Structures are given as structure tokens and as C-alpha cells.
Chains A and B, each alone.
Chain A
Amino acid sequence: MSKENQKEENAVNESYRQKPKVAVYVCHCGGNISDVIDVKRVAAELSKYPNVAISREYAFMCSSTGQDFVVDDIKNNGINRVVIAACSPFLHELTFRGALNRAGLNPYLYEHVNIREQSSWVHKNDKEGATLKAISLVKAGVEKILRQDPLNSIRVEALHSVAVIGAGIAGLRAALSCAENGLDVTIIEKSDSIGGNLRRSGNIYPTGEKASSIPENLSKKVLSMKNVKIYTQAEISFVGGYVGNFQLNVKKSDGNFEKVKAGAIIVATGFNHYIPHEGEYGWKKSTFVLTLPQFNELLEQSAGSEIEIEGKKIKSVAFMHCVGSRQIDGIDKPGKNGKVNDYCSRICCTAIIHSANRLKEKFPYVDVFDIYTDMRTYGMHHEKYYKDASKNDVIFFRRPLEERPVVEIGSDSIKIKTKDVLTMNEEMEIEADVLVLGTGIVPNDISDLVEYLKLPRGSDSFLQEVHPKLRPVEVSNNGIFIAGTAQGPMDVMETLQAANTAAVKAAALLSSPDIPLDPFVAVVDEDKCTGCGLCLAECSYSGALTMMEKEVNGKKKKVAVVNPALCKGCGACVAVCEPRAINVAGWTLDQFDAMVEAIAKE
């Protein structure tokens, strides 16, 4: 533990050792709570509860005024434990821990009771019931905090190096930013070269440059950094360790293994273009049915006054949106994982429109049709592409979401039949020389990695961050960050932003010599532990629990030992321990007993 942190924690006052004085605050949440729950009654009821010294209610506890109440009561009224009944702890638990910290009280002597999601929002039509439930929940909160020990964050040593998995633009950008922040970086790339999908994507919005120029530019910079090491054609065969001290087994191109050590890992495994099923919108049935990346390549290569395929002059092109995106169960054929892609791939609308405009600008004689579902040219100024496309005489058709256009391959042209919302739902028949499928984005298959790193994935197989707004690019596993299209469909700008975010988070995490971790981990009462080993069998985090010979009260004994850096505090071990020797700090069985007691008393 660093000296500075030590000093900080010593400064925390020791008032919790005195007789407990609990302060209860009931938040109105600006009507979200108080419109249903009688907050005055809750506060009044709690003021009579044993050990509660102060009980208040206020419109917004999270406001600076609300927090000042807490700080003031701790500093001036001798409060040594705090219960706040408000929203979900997800939103403001950290806010109030900060307030306790400022007041000099151990931040874990605080209990956040959720009476919004768990009471006022779900019992809108039962005000009395909601109020009584809130009172019970707050009383349980008081009972819990009375039995709470002050906790200190766990600190682990940090290596000043990062492993970046994937060398697409997200990986390269993240690696570059980490390296620029003085961290040693190892890039591990599965394919034989760096740069990723963008090397073959034609011309891209919004700046309209050649897509390949972006990875080329990044590669050049990354290669010039002395503290970056790159393994291509490399595969990860195992990952061990924990935040600050990960070990990755890497199988290199020459077949030899290399152990890569890293304080943090950035996963930037990217995406693949959706590949249509044979026959899906005429795919593989004609050389005139192309995917958008294929068409973009053709468009970039075409020069002169005419665009041709196999010597045939192309006079009309139809673009089809949402191929492999926004699929519907029962209508679309599921992919290899047995699921349909029900998400929006986000970038295709703008990408298609961008290509349509480029086509019109390069070859104005071509008739262009655009069959979309919903036009989602989101993003700064991207609406302009859509507007320009209209002015370029692109003719749009909007198909209903459940409607699948029928593609008929003729000898001379392709016929597309679709219901069109814009033409009063009439069945339209579009004839075009070329059909371009706006294929969506699917995540790369990284099942092995998901297993090694215990990465959370959504139902769509993309990696999932803890919270897109509150904790972007973070996963629940400390020290692992995700960046780019492995997270979900993103355009180049968003990918680079995510990559930079991940790099900054990794750099911030590794900036001090040790890393603070949440203290909610398993704690073993060695007196009670019988060394049976049942807990070990239940633990799903390898290395978090081990059995060890130890001297306890002068006697040698086999006991369970927790590695706090690896323990996630899930409590699986607690459930199987008969002598109640193992507990999760901050969530002990005694606390649960008291809470249940308090609720059941009514």
C-alpha cells in the first residue's frame, strides 16, 4: 500500500467504535419517491427506531445541499453510521461514499436503501403499502449498518504494462495511447498483419478519405514506439492472474509460447461483416448481387465515365439496408449461434448513403434506388448525407420492418419487389442492374477469450460493458477493458474514441504503484474453519480460494485462504460453509439475519 493512501486512511476518524449513532435520510427524488411514498412518515417512523439519532427527508439527497446534510451531521452531530433511502445504489452509492469520506468517516459505514425501484416505482397504485415497505426496508438498512465494520479497499501491486488483444484500428489506437502514456504495450493479433477490417473498406465517411489510410497511419506511429511489441499470427491459450498482474500465454507464429505479463488488458477483437445465407436477397445467385464492402471496392476501382461489372455497363444500382441486422425471429434464418441478429448495425445507413452519393457523383447517369427500413444516419452532420442523396436523385423506398423484399434474378437485370410505406404501402417493383446488400456488423468469434477472461457478453454476442454511461469500456472484471466494435457496431470515430477511453482508463488504473479494489470479498474466520474444502469446490474464480496449512492459535491447521485480488465476492462459498466460517465483508450472515429479523418483525 502506498504511503499516501495509508495516511489518508489513518485520518479517518474512529467514531464508529463509540456507541452507534445512525442518521437516516429519506430522499424524495423530486417526486419519484415522494409522489407515492409518504416520506415524512418514513422519516418519523425511523426517528423512533433504536440507535437512530437523526432522521430527515429531503427533495434531492444527491444534490450538494443533500450531501452537505450528511457531512454536517457527521462532523457536528456525532453521527457514525449513515443510511440513505433513495434510488438504486447503482446510481449514487459512490456519491454518498464520497460524502462520508469528506466528512472523515469510513465510507463503508454507509448503507444505501433502494426505495425507488424497489418500492415507489413498482407500487404506484398502493401508496400505503409502498410506504410500509419503505419503512421495513429502511429499518433493515439500519440493522445492517449497525453490524457493519469499517472496511478498507484492497490494494494490489500494478505492473506498468498493457496487453492489447487485436490490431485493428481500436487495438492500434489503444496501444498507441497507452504507449504515449509511458506504459509498455504488447499487441497480440490473430491474423498475419495489422490494420484490421479497415484495410479493405473503400472510402469512408465522414471525412471521405481512403479507409486504409487510417490503419496505415496508426500502424506507422505504433511501429515507431519503442515500448510497443507486436505479435502477429499469435493466439492466446490461457490467461491467469488478476488486475495489475495478468499473465497471458501466447502461442506465437513460430509455434513457441511466450508469457506476456500485463497490469491491464484491452480487448479490441473487432467485427466481421455479416455474410448472407445463400439465396438471401439473391446472394450467390448472381454476380450482380454484391455486399457493400464489395461494391465499395468496385466503386473505388472504377474510373472513366462508366461503371462496369464483367464488361456490362451498370445503369442502375439498388441498395438494400438491414441485411443481417434488425432480423426477426421466425422471419429470418438464424446464424450459426442459432440466433438472429436483432440489433441495428448502426453504421450501414450512413455507409450506404455515402456510397450512393459517391456513385452518383462519380457516375451521374446511374439510377440509384435505396430500400431502407428506418433511416438512421445518426451522428454529427450525417443527416446531410441523407439530404444530399435526395438531391442526387436517389429514390428511396421504405419497407415495413417485418417485410422482406423479394429478389428475382433475371437474365438481364434484377427485380426487387417490396412493399413501400412511402407509396401508401403499395407493392413496388424495382428493376436494377446491381443489387448491393448493406450487410451488418457481427462480432468476431472469440469464445476462447471470453472463457479465459470471463468476459460478459450480451445476447447478441457482443462484449458488454458494465454500464454504457456510468462505466463505459469497463467490464466487471477489474483491469480488463473492451474497445471498439467488439462492444457493438461503431463507426471509425466511435471506435477510436472507445479505444482512447480504454487506454486512458488503463493508464489511470496503472498510474499509482498499487490499485484499490472493492473490499467486498470473502473473509475466513480461521477459528471456525474446519478445512473441509467444500467452499473450494464452489468457487468459480480460479485462484481466489486455496486451502493452506496454517498456524491458528498455536495449532497447525488446514484452512481456506482468500486471494482478495481474485475474489469477486459472489458468496457461493458462504452458502456451503456449515460452520459459518466464511463471510463476504460488508454482507455478513449476521447482517442478513438482522435484516430479515427487522423486516419479519412487522
Chain B
Amino acid sequence: MKVNTKFIKEVKKYGAFDISACFNCGNCTAVCPLSAEDVSFPRKMIRYAQVGAEKEIEASLEPWMCYYCGECSDTCPRQAYPGEFMMSLRRYLISKYDVTGISAFFYKFPWVQNLLTIAIFAVSLIFFLSYTGDFQELAEKIEMAFPAYVTLAIIAYVFMFYKKTIMDKAGKMLISFDFKNIWETLIHGLTQKNFSSCSDTDWTRWIAHLLVMSGYTLTLIISNLHLLEPLRIHYGLFDISTLLVFYATFAILAGGFVMMFRRVVKQVQSSSFSHSTDWLFVVMLFLIGLSTFATHTANMALGPDSDTVSILYKFNIAVEMAWIVIVVPFTKWIHIFFRPMAIYLRNLKKEKQLV
């Protein structure tokens, strides 16, 4: 293996500021409840980074097995923050699996992503407010365009992830049809049950994650299938749409609030080092929840013809615009897919004995 000193400098741009302090003792791996023989971390990953084993890192599933319990960082005798290093590796890998290269740019210059998000939101809002046609119709077109855009992004990421971790190693496509594997992947994806593997289960974090994920998925379905037409329909309290919106927005707001609060107070390792992209992610989610909720309750109270409802709805769609165009395909969002996929690929590797 050729030693490459440039690699660690590159990884450090994604936040792993203190990782050079690591002297490879392995306490982190010993204490990690999620590390296993076939997916051993953080030590092995840190070492790969130190010697610049770029290929090995790009082919690793380990970063996605880590749920950032923070025990490694608490135990580290050199204060190298291995937990934060694993987080940084996830950022790095997202950049590597992003065919456009834009994620890497956003991670290194987060203010650009922030500015672009604000700009798209602002331009959209001004345009929507000055739009004289039937906005409900325009909103329908916009919302129907989202799935195509997002799906394209997901496919590109998933393919790159699969290529780097499986295809490049095996030299061919490998697929597992094992029902147990598919079932386990689904369960992990839906419940994120690895959160319970940390020796002290961080229930708040787990529940907040579940709330945000379920609420967000629901919002995604509602908006991307254009299920809401607040400028056309007057929703009642017991309509199915209302119930769905209430659950989704409550879940996002409650979960999002907890996440933001924890990133402010920094009491646990996992929320001690916030990258700008982490903030953008939770803040935007929170705004989506808030504006959807506000639009819907205003509709119920004032009816679809109210100017207030119209303004709130335009605000809501403008936030979604910025979110879908700038936040979703780049940086953090794709981890929602990578985590369950890593479980699937790990089982696949075991099944096909791909070492």
C-alpha cells in the first residue's frame, strides 16, 4: 500500500480536525458496540485515512454502520474524536459518491450552499408573490417536477455507492435476493434500530430521528404527489389530509426542535460538532414543517380564497423549492438511503463472501 499524505489533509476539510492525534491504540474500536469483525471501525478507518488509503475508504461500508453513539470519543485517550471523524468520513464519502462534485464544493464552502438556498428561496418567493396566474396550477407543476429531479439524484448516488463498495471489488454486479436480507434492510430503514445498539440508548435522539424521518417522508409523499391543494379545497379538521398533515408537521417540528436544541447545548458527542450543512438540514426541515402546518391551519380557519393562505402557501412552496433544488441532492440528505443500503450491502458481501 502506497502512503499518501495528501489524503488526510483532504478528509480534514470535512471536519475531522483532530484525527492526527490518534495513535492507533484501538480503544475506540474495542468500546464500539456496533463495530464487528467484517465492519471494523473507527480505528481501521482512521488508520486508512492516516496513510492515505483512498480506495479502501471509498469501498468501506463502515461509516454507514456508525450511529455516532460517541462512546469512542469519550474513551479516546488522545482526544482525537473518532466519532466526529466517522461523521466527517460520511461527509467525505457523500462528496465522493456525488457525480456532480457539487457536494464536495458545498462541504468545503458551506456558505455557498447557504447563500444559494436563501437566493432560490427569495427568488421563488418574489416570483410566486408577483405571479398573476393560477398559483395552484403552477404549484402542481412544480411539485410534480420534484420527484423526477430527486429520483435522478438518488439513482446516481445509489449507483455510485454500489459501484465503489461492490462492483469495483467484485468486478461485476452482485445482487442478493435473500428475503432475510431484504427484510432486515427494511426494518433497519424504517426503525433505525441500530440507535438502540449504543450501550446507553439515546432515546431522545432516536425518537427525534424517527419523528423527523416519518414526518418528512410523509411530507414528501404529500407534496410530491401534490395531495394538497390549499388554494382550491377548504379542509376540515377530520379530513384524512388534515390528519396526515398534522402528524407530519408535528413530527418534523418536534423532532426538528429537539435536534436543533441538542446542537445548541452540545451535551452529547453526536451533536457537539455541527457542520454548517447539519444546520442547514435541520433548519430547512423545520421551516418546511412550519410553513406546511401554517398553510393548512390557515386554510381550515380562513378558507382557500384567503390572501393569508395564499401568501403562506407561496412561502411554503418557495421553501420546498430551495430544499429540493439545493439541499436534497447535495450533502447530508442522501444518508437516509445510504444507511439501510449499507446494511443490505454488508449482508450481500457476507452472502457472496466478498472480502
Within 8 A of A (CB), among B1-22: 1-3, 5, 8, 20-22
A341 → chain B closest CB, angstroms: 27
Q: Mark B164-208, 1 if CB is under 8 A from A, else 0.
A: 000000000000000000000000000000000000000000000
| Residue from B3, B22, B53 within 8 A of A431 (CB atoms) | B3
A315 → chain B closest CB, angstroms: 10
Binding site for A on B (CB under 8 A): 1-3, 5, 8, 20-24, 44, 47-48, 50-51, 53, 78
A247 → chain B closest CB, angstroms: 56
Q: Which residue of A lies closest to B40 (CB)?
A: A424
Complex contacts, B5 vs chain A, CB 8 Å: 316, 367, 393, 395
Binding site for B on A (CB under 8 A): 316, 367, 369, 375, 386-387, 390-393, 395-396, 398, 420, 422-424, 426-431
A390 touches B47 (CB 8 A): no
A422 → chain B closest CB, angstroms: 4
A410 → chain B closest CB, angstroms: 14
With contacts A367-B5, A369-B3, A395-B5 known, is A428 near B20, CB below 8 A?
Answer: no
The count of A-to-B residue pairs whose CB atoms sit within 8 angstroms is: 48
Instruction: Please name 9 further chain A to chain B contacts, defined as beta carbons within 8 Å, in addition to the given A387-B21, A396-B23, sorted by A numbering.
Output: A375-B23, A387-B23, A390-B20, A391-B21, A392-B20, A396-B24, A426-B1, A429-B2, A431-B3
A390 touches B23 (CB 8 A): yes
A424 touches B44 (CB 8 A): yes
A390 touches B78 (CB 8 A): yes
Complex contacts, B48 vs chain A, CB 8 Å: 423
Complex contacts, A423 vs chain B, CB 8 Å: 1, 47-48, 51, 53
B226 → chain A closest CB, angstroms: 52
B53 → chain A closest CB, angstroms: 8
B329 → chain A closest CB, angstroms: 34
| Residue from A316, A375, A387, A428 within 8 A of B78 (CB atoms) | A387
- Give the distance in Å from the alpha carbon of A386 to the alpha carbon of B23 in the complex: 9
Q: Which residue of A lies closest to B18 (CB)?
A: A391
B3 touches A428 (CB 8 A): yes
- Give the distance in Å from the alpha carbon of A316 to the alpha carbon of B5 in the complex: 10
Complex contacts, A367 vs chain B, CB 8 Å: 5
With contacts A390-B21, A391-B20, A396-B23 known, is A422 near B1, CB below 8 A?
Answer: no
Name 9 A/B residue pairs within 8 A (Cβ), A-sorted.
A316-B5, A367-B5, A387-B78, A390-B21, A395-B50, A395-B51, A423-B1, A429-B2, A431-B2
Complex contacts, B50 vs chain A, CB 8 Å: 395
Complex contacts, A390 vs chain B, CB 8 Å: 20-23, 78
A428 touches B21 (CB 8 A): no
Complex contacts, A392 vs chain B, CB 8 Å: 20
| Residue from A393, A398, A420, A422 within 8 A of B20 (CB atoms) | A393
| Residue from B21, B24, B78 within 8 A of A422 (CB atoms) | B24
- Give the distance in Å from the alpha carbon of A431 to the alpha carbon of B2 in the complex: 8
Complex contacts, A375 vs chain B, CB 8 Å: 23
Complex contacts, B47 vs chain A, CB 8 Å: 422-424
- Give the distance in Å from the alpha carbon of A431 to the alpha carbon of B22 in the complex: 22
A551 → chain B closest CB, angstroms: 79
Complex contacts, A431 vs chain B, CB 8 Å: 2-3
